[in-house]
Amino acid sequence: MKRKERLSESAYIQGVLSGDRVVLSRAITLVESTLPADQELAEAVVSGILSHTGNSIRIGITGVPGVGKSTFIETFGKIVVDKGLKLAVLAIDPSSQKTGGSILGDKTRMETLAADKRAYIRPSPTGSTLGGVSARTREAMLLCEAAGFDVIFIETVGVGQSEIAVRGMVDFFLLLMLAGAGDELQGIKKGIIEICDALVINKADGDNLPMAKRAQREYANALHLFPIRESGWLPKVKICSAVEKTGLVEIWEMISEYRDLTKANGFYDANRAEQRGNWMHEHIGYLLKNQFYQDSLIQEKLKKNLPAVKSGALSAIAIAKELVELFMEGKAKK
Amino acid sequence: MKRKERLSESAYIQGVLSGDRVVLSRAITLVESTLPADQELAEAVVSGILSHTGNSIRIGITGVPGVGKSTFIETFGKIVVDKGLKLAVLAIDPSSQKTGGSILGDKTRMETLAADKRAYIRPSPTGSTLGGVSARTREAMLLCEAAGFDVIFIETVGVGQSEIAVRGMVDFFLLLMLAGAGDELQGIKKGIIEICDALVINKADGDNLPMAKRAQREYANALHLFPIRESGWLPKVKICSAVEKTGLVEIWEMISEYRDLTKANGFYDANRAEQRGNWMHEHIGYLLKNQFYQDSLIQEKLKKNLPAVKSGALSAIAIAKELVELFMEGKAKK
């Protein structure tokens, strides 16, 4: 694949700020690049647009495959854009790490929304570590905000890691579910429900409707057993049908209500402040490791010692310690 | 709580190697300590016993709350010790991070097994980051191996993170489930099933039995759709009843079969070698961050800049970069 020429730092920044989608896409591609030169440029671009970010509401949407996430995002996204709001949809897909292909990297999943000028859909980056993917998703989110999007959906599917990463970068976290589950789903609740602001039971249509309503009552009762959130918000349980387009307006109203409540009580801003601090710490960890592994002396020693660490002849923690000490001394000598 | 006196490095090592459970427990407490002096001693102890490790089979056991994990471990553990094997049970419980208390930190959950001299149950460490917990679980596992345990169960409950951490330190990974799930459970499969070696449907008794058998067939069919594992092992689906004590011997036979297959084709050792390498890399990351955050100049600058990073006035990534550069220069000046 032939690589496109990079733009200048100011061309990226001006293009993004003017809402140019071609430049926005190229800027996101830049932040997704693993080339050191691109990373430096990407960092400058992100820092350059940072003062223009923060004006969207960031909504995380999760749910296991089969729950109807794509259809939900299409129809719910339509509600959002019909309100005159500009919508960007980003995705984190850790499953691509293992399978090598992204199940979300396909715009054709959301054909109607993709064709809508008021929406921007960005397929997920593939083939990298979750840490990297989530860091780049955060930067893509900021670029979309700088480009003037009012609402950002961050979609995720996974077994937990990606949900926690997304929770760390959004304002509101929505879990999409299906009704008709027994005890086994009660179990899922503990982990995920603790981090979500709303449970939405999808496919509440036709014969499923009574079951969905029953599940809604059960979950609503169960949610009362959880300790009150720092946000002051009691997580809600909603039902909807993405296919019949019912219940979707109510979901948007709920999110607006959440925003009003948490902006008034200060949680909205406090949460974002906390997220920015964590972002810095994550980036510190990334940079430290990056510098370590790019050190030529370390690379040489690693190559020499790794076989004995793998065979168990040398202690993994002892070698780790030795290499880190060597790295620090190497810096001290320079 | 009054702290016990620490033993000498050689007293820990000799005590563990002689199978002294009191010393083993104290050594595990030592590796769980966050005090720098303890960590140094712990590292020496772990390095000292390392050549005596690797002789157990390490089995990860996961499943959502309500699936009957404690009862399963009790009755399945009984099968293991009745074969004349010494069993250690360790737990990773990330939920304690949020709730502040460990739901697994209670020996009384497994009363029969806890009273059995052939078994050793170690409650999970609490109140720390997942990375820290999993690192210490790995070291606790090695200590148990050095103390002569033949089989180690590492139990986990969580929303994904801990499962992936455990997968990274065991030979065999078992997912406990319940029958009676519809489409919604099909979804869970993708993420977790990709990393597990067996699905065990628990509570396959009484009225549940036909449903369990049906679920077994369905999952077995579904598993054929997944790509063949690097291990050469096709994940199996088993049914059991921990209460009626049925199907448990078959599970042990399956694990033995897995071990025979993967020892013969080389995967067993290759996987462990890979795990040792990853352990070293994880420890490198930990040490680098540790050194960084203990640097007094960094602490001062962090304190000064964090408010502006949180408010968004300063760029999180720019400050991260600046601090890491400062840290490296500081080392260079010394």
Give yes or no: residues B104 and B62 share one domain: yes
**Residue A165 confidence (pLDDT) above 70:** yes
Question: Cα A246 to chain center, whole Å?
Answer: 26
* A84 and A125 share one domain: yes
Q: Which residues on chain A are in Cβ contact (under 8 Å) with B281?
A: 320
Indicate whether A129 and A258 sit together in one domain: yes
| A125/A34 Cα distance (integer angstroms) | 11
- Contacts A–B by Cβ distance under 8 A: 218
- The sheet carrying A198-202 orders its strands as A119-121, A87-92, A151-156, A57-62, A172-178, A198-202, A236-239
Which residue in B176, B280, B321 has the most chain A C-beta atoms within 10 A of its own C-beta, making it the best mutation to test that interface? B280
CA distance B234 to chain A (A): 17
Shared domain check, B40 and B27: yes
Indicate whether B17 and B69 sit together in one domain.
no
Decide if B281 is inside a domain. no
Is A89 within a domain?
yes
Minimal Cα–Cα distance from A294 to chain B, Å? Answer: 14
ipTM for the assembly: 0.79
> How many CB atoms sit inside 10 A of residue A117's CB?
8
Interface probe for B, chosen from A310, A323, A325, A326 (most Cβ of B below 10 Å), is A310
Q: Tell me which amino acid residue A204 is.
A: A
A67 pLDDT more than 90: no
Among candidates A318, A320, A332, A324, which has minimal Cα distance to B291? A324
Residues 6+ apart with CB under 8 A from B6: B30, B38, B41
pLDDT digits (tens, 9 = 90+) for A181-200: 543 444 444 566 778 899 89
Domain count across chain B: 3
Q: Is A74 exposed, middle or buried (0-12, 13-18, 19+ CB in 10 A)?
A: buried
**Which of B50, B177, B187 is closest, CB to CB, to A315?**
B50
- Please give the pLDDT value at position B65: 67
Region A61-71: mean pLDDT is 80
Q: What is the mean pLDDT of residues A273-280?
A: 92
Q: Do B181 and B310 reside in the same domain of the chain?
A: no
**Which residues in chain B are contacts of A53 at CB distance < 8 A?**
312
A266-294 average pLDDT score = 92
Flag whether A273 is in a domain.
no
Domain annotation covers residue A108: yes
Same domain, yes or no, for A249 and A311?
A: no
pLDDT value of position A90: 92
- Helix residue spans in chain A (DSSP H): 9-17, 21-32, 36-49, 69-82, 95-99, 111-115, 130-146, 161-167, 183-193, 209-223, 248-265, 267-294, 296-311, 316-333
Residue A253 phi/psi, 5-degree rounding, is -65, -40
Average pLDDT over residues A67-86: 91
Residue in B145, B185, B317, B334 to test binding to A, most A beta-carbons within 10 Å: B317
Comparing A144 with A176, the larger pLDDT belongs to A144
Q: What number is the average pLDDT over the span A227-241?
A: 89
Tokens (6 digits) for A314: 């040398």
CATH of the domain at A34: 1.20.5.170
What is the model's pLDDT at position B135?
A: 76
Q: Domain containing B301: what range?
A: 295-333
Q: Which two tokens stand for residue B216?
A: 């077994």
**For residues B123, B127, B128 and B131, what is the CA-based torsion angle, rounded to 10 degrees?**
50
pLDDT per residue, tens digit, chain B (334 aa), is 345 689 999 999 999 999 999 999 999 999 988 788 898 899 899 989 988 998 999 999 887 767 788 889 999 999 999 999 999 999 776 554 443 334 444 455 788 888 899 999 987 665 455 556 677 888 999 999 999 999 999 988 654 567 777 888 899 999 888 876 543 444 444 566 778 899 899 889 998 899 899 888 888 887 777 677 889 998 899 999 998 999 999 999 999 999 999 999 999 999 999 999 998 998 899 899 989 999 999 999 999 999 999 998 888 888 999 999 999 987 766 5
Q: Give the residue from B247, B265, B283 where a domain finishes.
A: B265
Q: Which of B200, B258, B195, B214 is nearest to B232 (CA)?
A: B258
A158 has a pLDDT exceeding 60: no
| Confidence category of residue A131, pLDDT binned at 50, 70, 90 | low
* Residue A156 · residue A91 · CB < 8 Å: yes
A284 belongs to a structural domain: no
Kindly state the tokens that stand for B320.
């991260």
- Chain B nearest-CA distance from A325, in A, is 9
Q: Are residues A218 and A163 in the same domain?
A: yes
Q: Which of B265, B285, B303 lies at the terminal end of a domain, its last residue? A: B265
A173 has pLDDT over 60: yes
In a domain, A225, yes or no: yes
A160 and A24, same domain (yes or no): no
Please judge whether B319 and A280 are an interchain contact, meaning their C-beta atoms are less than 8 angstroms apart.
yes
Mean pLDDT of chain A: 84
> Which has more confidence, B100 or A59?
A59
CB pair distance less than 8 Å for B316 and A279: yes
Q: What is the DSSP letter of A52?
A: G
Q: Whats the size of chain B, residue-wise?
A: 334
Looking at residue A134, its pLDDT comes to 73
Encoded tokens for B318:
């720019």
Where do we find the tokens 């940079």? Answer: A287
In a domain? residue B282: no
According to the model, what pLDDT value does residue B181 have?
Answer: 53
Same domain? A207 vs A217: yes
Residue A63: left (phi > 0), alpha (psi -120 to 50), or beta?
left
CATH of the domain at B232: 3.40.50.300
User: Which segment of A5-14, A293-302, A303-312, B211-220 scores lowest on mean pLDDT?
Assistant: B211-220
Residues B141, B16 within the same domain: no
Residue A1 lies in a domain: yes
The predicted pLDDT at position B81 comes to 95
Q: Which of A187, A279, A316 sits opposite B66 (nearest CB)?
A: A187
Q: What is the pLDDT of residue A96?
A: 43
pLDDT for the residue B161? 63
Query: Distance of alpha carbon A98 from its chain centroid, rounded?
Result: 18
Say yes or no: B60 and B46 in one domain.
no
